């Protein structure tokens, strides 16, 4: 049976605190419409911890359930490798399509530096820089990003998905993905998160992308009951979204090329559809 009181409390706190944070950031002038500043990025980082805070408060004081039920376990080791490979291959496929049909990579990093109006010599050759940031993207960032990713996953997968489970696993997957996508919308509309000036259509694209990938995240959560696993997936996704790919494939058209572009949207939706079929076949 749905605990509507707990659900409403969690969603109210999460959306309310996030919108408040976004409005304050906008009033101060921390936006991402043009070249992203460090402080503007910190606003998005802070928002990632709001779902965890809301889930912990709701779990303890409204649902009156132990915090350990939020999925604080590692789950099967094999699933980490499977999900890592899946996410990396998804980005490889996306940028292979980009390379073949839309944009060649800039291994000199000139386009990347021009975004920030940086006109200084690189500390080493561009080739070495690409290799270093590739290593960071694939092996370092997925670990470092675990902390902020866990901030979201405690809320979205640890709390929301199991609380929607009485509706059925398929509905829980879809609804949790949709809610997760909607939560990002104020950051896109008010701050220009990920899409800059293309925020109107960007908010629609992002909703579709996050719903698709969110369905898969929820499916894996049901397989493992591990919020730590979900955080790892989230961390790998973000590492590739903001890592080496974004440095060598630079485009003003965020609606086509990039983590939130049409190609990645389609791939995420396909992953979501596949997950729903797996759930319904069980």
Count the neighbouring beta carbons within 10 Å of the beta carbon of residue 187: 23
Q: State the pLDDT confidence band at 34, using cuts at 50, 70 and 90.
A: confident
Which tokens is 268 given? 């995420």
Alpha-carbon dihedral 217, 218, 222, 223, rounded to 10 degrees: -20
pLDDT at 79: 98
Q: What CA–CA distance (Å, rounded) separates 49 from 6? A: 19
Task: Name the strand (E) or helix (H) holding 120.
Answer: none
Going by the DSSP 8-state scheme, the letter that residue 140 receives in this structure is I
- pLDDT tens-digit map of 146-175: 999 999 999 999 999 999 999 999 999 999
- pLDDT tens-digit map of 231-279: 999 999 999 999 999 999 999 999 999 999 999 999 999 999 999 999 9
Range of the domain at 169: 4-280
Quote the number of domains for the chain: 1
Tokens 């997925």 belong to which residue? 142
| Arithmetic mean of pLDDT, 93-115 | 95
Q: Give residue 265's Cα distance to chain centre.
A: 12
3-state secondary structure (DSSP) of residue 156: helix
């Amino acid at each position: 049976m749905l605990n509507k009181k707990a659900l409403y409390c969690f969603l109210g706190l999460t959306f309310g605190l996030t919108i408040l944070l976004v409005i304050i950031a906008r009033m101060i002038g921390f936006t991402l419409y043009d070249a992203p500043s460090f402080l503007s990025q910190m606003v998005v980082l802070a928002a990632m911890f709001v779902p965890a805070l809301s889930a912990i408060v709701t779990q303890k004081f409204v649902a009156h359930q132990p915090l350990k039920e939020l999925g604080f376990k590692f789950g099967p080791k094999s699933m980490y490798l499977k999900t890592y490979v899946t996410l990396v291959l998804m980005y490889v496929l996306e940028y292979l399509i980009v390379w073949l049909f839309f944009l060649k990579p800039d291994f000199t990093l000139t386009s990347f530096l021009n975004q920030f109006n940086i006109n200084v010599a690189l500390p080493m050759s561009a080739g070495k820089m690409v290799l270093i940031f590739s290593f960071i993207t694939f092996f370092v960032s997925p670990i470092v990003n675990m902390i902020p990713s866990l901030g979201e996953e405690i809320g979205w997968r640890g709390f929301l998905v199991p609380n929607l489970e009485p509706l059925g696993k398929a509905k829980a997957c879809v609804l949790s993905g949709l809610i997760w996508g909607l939560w990002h919308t104020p950051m896109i509309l008010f701050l220009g998160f990920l899409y800059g000036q293309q925020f109107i259509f960007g908010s629609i694209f992002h909703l579709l992308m996050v719903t698709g990938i969110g369905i898969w995240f929820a499916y894996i959560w049901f397989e493992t009951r591990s919020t730590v696993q979900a955080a790892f997936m989230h961390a790998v996704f973000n590492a590739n979204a903001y890592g080496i790919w974004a440095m060598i494939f630079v485009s003003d058209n965020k609606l086509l090329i990039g983590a939130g572009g049409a190609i990645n949207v389609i791939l995420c939706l396909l992953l979501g559809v596949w997950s729903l079929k797996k759930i319904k076949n069980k």
